Structure 1
Amino acid sequence: MKKFLLSLLLSVIVFNISFAQLDKKIDGIIQTEFNNSNDPGGVFLVSKKGKTLYEKAFGKANLELDVNMTPQHVFQIGSMTKQFTAVSILILESQGKLTVNDPISKYIPDYPSGNSITIHHLLTHTSGIKDFTKMKTISEIAQKEMSPKMMVDFFKNEPVDFKPGEKLEYNNSGYVLLGYLIELVSGEKYEDFIRKNIFEKAGMRNSYYASDRKLIKNRAYGYHKKSEGYVNRTIISFSVPFASGSLMSTVEDMVKWQGALNQNIFLKPEQIRKAFTKYKLNNEEEFTYGYGWHLKEINGVSTREHGGSVFGFKSMAVYIPDEDVYVIGLSNCDCHSPTQITKDIARLVLENTKKQQ
């Protein structure tokens, strides 16, 4: 018994040393970019099998009020919104209200070439529709309150960039269209559909459709960096990015999101699997975007990744399914990108996990 207890004690000591070393290495990776406690900052979290291995905040959540960042602060997550939009489409498909192979003309009869563009094309960025963020006239609507239909009308008559399914080209317009379809098919506002069908079911109590008017507890304020110093972020109407980039969340809520996906809270395994499948272009070439996630690899191990960038904020998350490891970083200055940092942390945790196996 004594030998067993001694062995157990030694293994605990070794684990704690290993964990402390990992913690220190993660700190070092983050502090290459987030190294000034008086600047806008960010929050980083690492979880494995649902348990938090690392969670720390850096810098300030509000410069004017001198408020330190905490893990509970709420950030705009930008294009990570696309994950929620894609899963919402699959929820509607599971309810028999649409299929991903439906042409968009089934729901928007007057959409140009709508017979040849499917929901699948929108989900996978292979539609060829003009990305509204690249249109010169975007500044004319950036601060206007736009209905989903107004947003679709804004870009729908633009010349297409290529034929549907011809190639992969990241496209925000496609996800605005998906948000509009969610409203048309469900009979609910996109904001309400996400709240009821995702946030509430996953227990994400600190996640929202973004608003500058509503009082949001623990809101992190967004910043730009100019030659003369930091300035408050440019104000845009959240109705413009809409279903392509207008959600807000915390690192802890995003872990709940990943956990709910793993536990099939929203969809059956065969339904959610569609989001994580690599599809093919018309020429049979495989590409690495599913429905709302980039499907990539770290050291030959499959990952699901996505980032986001919106005025004043940047975000990035990497999930490693084989190890059930989730790494997320959120920043409240678009001058500080968590993208490479998050990838480097994921690689470090993966390598550390492999050593322990």
Structure 2
Amino acid sequence: MKTNHTLLFILLSGLFISTLKAQDLKPQFDDIVAQFYNDANAPGATILVAKDGKPIYRKAVGKSSLELNVDMQPENVFMLASISKQFTAVAILMLQEQGKLNLDDPITKFLPDYPTQGKTITVHHLLNHTSGIKSYTSIGNLYEVARKDFTLDQLIDYFKNEPMDFNPGEDYKYNNSGYVLLGKIIEVISKDTYENFIENEIFKPLNMLASRYGNNRELVKNRVEAYEQDESGFVNASYLSMTVPHAAGALISTVDDMLKWQNALTNNTLIKASTLQKAINGSQLNNGEHIFYGYGLGETTLKGSKGYAHSGGIFGTSTNGIYLIEEDVYVIGLSNCSCNDIGAVTEKLAAIAIGKPFPTMKDVIELPEAKMAQWVGAYEFEDGAIRHIFLKDGKLNSMKESETNTPFEIYPLSENRFMFEDSGIEYKFSKTDDGKRQAIFIASTENIGKAIDKSMPLPRKEITLPHNTLKDYIGVYELAPNFNVTITVNKNQIFAQATGQGQFEIYAENNTDFFAKVAAIKMTFNKDALGNVDSFTIYQGGEENIAKKIE
């Protein structure tokens, strides 16, 4: 057989170059991971970055077991939490392609006894969280419910008679009940369990040998221990019967298996390209309004690059996966503590992988005050936000008019480009031909602001409250299904930590009203008739939501 040496050289050269590029990026990847995981004796994470379907970075940090002092390994197995939903959605789409259901089928075609309260709820409504069915994770005390074992029918009975939140298709509200019902539909059509369907139709064909439906009794090689964090430090995660998350979040896997899964989506191994498009490009409400969530996956934009993503949060677990389409870059992060902001890690790693890294404090330069002063003033942006740029103690600051009027220092990257600390958000200032100031606010998208004549409102002032007052607010509050805020206190300081995010301090205005400095957030703690704290109201982005105290 004659060998084509030229072709072989080209192929080997391409492999060599891609390997060199991956090696060049490794120090940058390591720096990002170290920013978030800098304690080798704390719970950790496994992280994988892939380009063109192949790993270019694979990392394990921290401990898989604190009690046994076991280091994390890339092969460790984690709960996927809500990342499980994309498997459920694809299973439904596989059944659609097989002609066994239509997305516009009413769910009563498969669940004839389900009480739809006179409404037409379709499979589509379950997939994109627009059914209006109440999410069972927002009913009662989730920590108590999570300790019980349910059959699938018992789990459905738990929520099926609850009042609906809205009419089908009228609104979007993230909903775990809908995905449990999808799991039931899969069982009805396949005449098998959800667990067996996912195992036989997805995991085995894709050779995802470390993946399965989670089970507390089964011995799982390389499975991590799950942890939470309270005012005393790290603790074992609250108990969760894996019968409770079911098709909404009960699968377990590894970063390596998740790459196999993403490659199957990219290569249309399980469903057609045209079918995948329905899942990854968002969807519409009845009135035509576009929502970011499609079927088990949500649209995302990172530094102008389009893709899709999903995160997960469950007791002692935080997960996030992001895929950028044009660049064919996939990043998956799995963490064994709900205290860690794995989403920020994966986002920053993805930005590096596509050659659009977020600036860091290492990129900050010294800039004379006179150079910064040229950008001082008020700006009105396209989205209606008004931001004030001002100098304080020789430093440039930004304050958005909001519930909190919180100022943030912004750091110079050049004469006209500034960044917020470790946030990935920037300003780029310029002057028009007629000398007027303008600014581009760069986050996931770009927003142009024009200079206006407006006085800056006063920032909020904080007071110090005694420990005895603050300790009444300690607890876990449910803001949304699978999304809690933990309030802790250390002496005269009070902290908030949302599922899968970092801890931040909140500051008292009075005995019940608090605000954050890391973001424009205001919180008011509420008491019941007996004077016990039972919830807080959070004000952010013009919206008002109540978080119920569950622990």
What's the TM-score once normalised by structure 2's chain length?
0.60
- Contact in 2 for aligned 1:146/1:240 (Cα 8 Å): yes
Greater share of strand residues, 1 or 2?
2
- Structure 1 gaps of 5+ residues are 1-9
Greater share of helix residues, 1 or 2?
1
- Partner of 1:348 in structure 2? 352
- Contact in 2 for aligned 1:303/1:318 (Cα 8 Å): yes
Distance, in Å, in 1 between the alignment partners of 2:189 and 2:61 is 42
**Which range is displaced more, 243-252 or 107-116?**
107-116
Indicate how the Cα distance of structure 1 residues 12 and 172 shifts in structure 2: closer, same or farther if over 3 A, else same: closer
Is 1:266 matched up with 2:270?
A: yes
1:56-71 aligned at under 5 Å gives the runs: 56-71=59-74
Distance, in Å, in 2 between the alignment partners of 1:313 and 1:11 is 38
1:1-357 aligned at under 5 Å gives the runs: 19-113=22-116, 116-351=120-355
- State the AA in 1 paired with 2:239: I
Distance, in Å, in 2 between the alignment partners of 1:125 and 1:292 is 9
- Structure 2 gaps of 5+ residues are 1-12, 358-551
Larger Rg: 2
1:113 to partner: Cα distance? 2.2
- Partner of 1:3 in structure 2? none
Distance, in Å, in 1 between the alignment partners of 2:19 and 2:131 is 50
1:98 to partner: Cα distance? 1.0
Distance, in Å, in 1 between the alignment partners of 2:338 and 2:244 is 19
1:225 to partner: Cα distance? 1.4
Indicate how the Cα distance of structure 1 residues 217 and 298 shifts in structure 2: closer, same or farther if over 3 A, else same: same
- State the AA in 1 paired with 2:170: E
What per-residue deviation string (whole Å, max 9, x for no partner) do you get for residues 188-228 of structure 1?
10000000000011110000100111110111111111222
1:303 to partner: Cα distance? 1.1
1:112 to partner: Cα distance? 2.3
In the TM superposition, structure 1's runs of 4+ consecutive aligned residues that sit over 4 Å from their partners are 10-18
- Contact in 1 for aligned 2:281/2:298 (Cα 8 Å): no
- Identity across the alignment (%): 44
Indicate how the Cα distance of structure 1 residues 145 and 31 shifts in structure 2: closer, same or farther if over 3 A, else same: same
- Contact in 2 for aligned 1:201/1:265 (Cα 8 Å): no
- Contact in 1 for aligned 2:78/2:335 (Cα 8 Å): yes
What's the TM-score once normalised by structure 1's chain length?
0.92
1:25 to partner: Cα distance? 1.4
- Contact in 2 for aligned 1:101/1:118 (Cα 8 Å): yes
**Which range is displaced more, 38-47 or 223-232?**
223-232
- State the AA in 2 paired with 1:27: D
**Which range is displaced more, 287-296 or 10-19?**
10-19
**Which range is displaced more, 128-137 or 46-55?**
128-137
What per-residue deviation string (whole Å, max 9, x for no partner) do you get for residues 279-303 of structure 1?
2111111111110001111122211
Distance, in Å, in 1 between the alignment partners of 2:246 and 2:17 is 49
- Partner of 2:480 in structure 1? none
1:16 to partner: Cα distance? 6.8
Q: What is the alpha-carbon root mean square deviation over aligned residues?
A: 2.1
**Which range is displaced more, 78-87 or 29-38?**
29-38
